[in-house]
Amino acid sequence: MRAPHPHRALRTTTVGAVSATLVAGAALGLAPAAQAAPAAAPRAAGSAVSAGADVRFVDIPGDGGTILKANVFTPKGAKAGDGEKFPSIVLPTSWAMPQIEYVAQAQKLADSGYVVVSYNSRGFWQSGGEIETAGPKDIADASKVIDWTLANTPADPEKVGMAGVSYGAGISLLAAGHDKRVKAVAAMSGWADLIDSIYSGRTQHAQAAALLGGAGALTGRPSAELQQTLKDFLGSNLDKEDEMIAWGAKRSPVTHLDRINGNGAAIMLGNAWGDTLFPPNQYAEFYERLTGPKRLEFRPGDHATAEATGLLGLPNDTWTNTQRWFDHYLKGQDNGIDKEQPVQLKSRSTGGYEGYPDWKSVGPTRKKIDMAGSTTIRANVDSGANGGIAILSNALDQFLKIPPTASVPLLPRRYTGVWQSEKYTSVQRVRGTAKLHTTLSSTKESGTLVAYLYDVGPLGLGKLVSNAPYTFHGKTPGKPFGVDLELFSTAYDVPAGHRLALVVDTVDPLYIEHNPSGAQLTFSSPAADPSYVSVPLREQ
């Protein structure tokens, strides 16, 4: 048995991020649901929620009879049993969101001829049960909701779709692998690999996990299993690492990939470049392994911010394409979405869309920044280079084009390694996944490094292009070992006259670091195995 790693307290910025989220929830009128509320009588159809489609609020028995609070939108005047059938879309709610989350989109879909059933995921708000984190009971719930929809609405059993944002996206993908009735899925801001999302580089994404845990405790009833897993995860209990990985794998669509491909649902994936909960890399890798009809969309922003305006009923590209996806694969409309380039990317710099035939075509040209020489940095100090604050920083980049910044010349070289490219004479269109390869040695057996790629202007101000953490355990102090790290995928244009800089330090408020006090990390570049960062570029 490995000795438990010492508990590391969450940093102030993490606690602040959780507090900000909870305050925002309170401001929106969200209230904790300490106990599942008793079943309420359904509201009258055609209530003030929708002026067009018919709507009713219902209780749906989920797995084991657990009551799931739901709302049902049907095309105006449509009734079960009158012979006319409509395609249906099931929408599981996002983590911590109430059942009215999708009302605006549900009304639009119903007005265009869909039966739409949105339900509050188990353990949250007034639905019964405990939070299972997309476990087997959540997957079974999705099938129970489909059963209810087919029995109680004029839904066509051959035309069932599922969609959702975040938690709803993950449940929809998992359901597509376990229920052959699901013919089409739109999974927005979701995950394909839960471990590669919040434990990438073997590093706990502290703010992400704390946000999920805090929001879950505020709005629902976390299961004992979830509470223990979060405790072990945030407490860096390496004795439980294998158990935590197994827990996450069970809840990862990539684990069920063969079943998803076997069932053949048409799957559309959408995410944001700066998603601090579910980074884009794991979605792109999952997309490449899908064998059925598929589409991948990446846009600027952070977790769920690309879809947020659509939830308010405002024009939104993600939701527009979601309806087009269902119109084609459930209704059979020849709207051209199947003929477009299946990989659609929106640049953080230009705001324009680019189409590609597949993910590997996104950044076919690679330029290397050499990491020559030997550089030693001291650990345990935040140098000032960091990935920002979860949700907030990348939302600012999305709406105001203000990414996290750092003055690269002023970064303390005692605590940072810095390697820069030449000054570019033309625009460099970074597309895809930058990769770091280096040789590392440490004075301690455990440690963490965080790599950042900056766009550095003439005055030395660096705008964050991408980043990623890396943690190691059980290494022999002083003995070099190889490190290969993929930074989070992105689409960013570096202007002519600027440089790219790779910066490495050991502390970032987004992540839990594992550097013992007094640790030093040395980066070297052996002649037989040079160190570099490889940057993917779009063809000019």
Instruction: Report the alpha-carbon distance of residue 244 to residue 415 in Å, rounded.
Output: 32
pTM of the model: 0.90
Token pair, residue 75, equals 């095309």
Q: What is the pLDDT of residue 78?
A: 82
CB atoms within 10 A of CB 245: 14
Collapsing DSSP to helix, strand or coil, 243 comes out as: helix
Question: What percent of the chain has a predicted confidence (pLDDT) above 90?
Answer: 87
- pLDDT tens for each residue of 179-237: 999 999 999 999 999 999 999 999 999 999 999 999 999 999 999 999 999 999 999 99
- pLDDT tens for each residue of 32-89: 333 343 333 333 333 334 457 899 999 999 999 999 999 999 999 887 767 889 999 9
- pLDDT tens for each residue of 3-31: 334 333 333 333 333 333 333 333 233 33
Confidence of residue 539 (pLDDT cuts 50, 70, 90): confident
Q: Which helix (H) or strand (E) holds 475?
A: none
Q: What is the pLDDT of residue 81?
A: 66
Instruction: Report the alpha-carbon distance of residue 385 to residue 334 in Å, rounded.
Output: 49
Instruction: Report the alpha-carbon distance of residue 53 to residue 95 in Å, rounded.
Output: 26
Nearest-5° Cα angle at 361, 360 to 363: 90
Confidence of residue 320 (pLDDT cuts 50, 70, 90): very high
Q: Which helix (H) or strand (E) holds 376?
A: strand 375-378
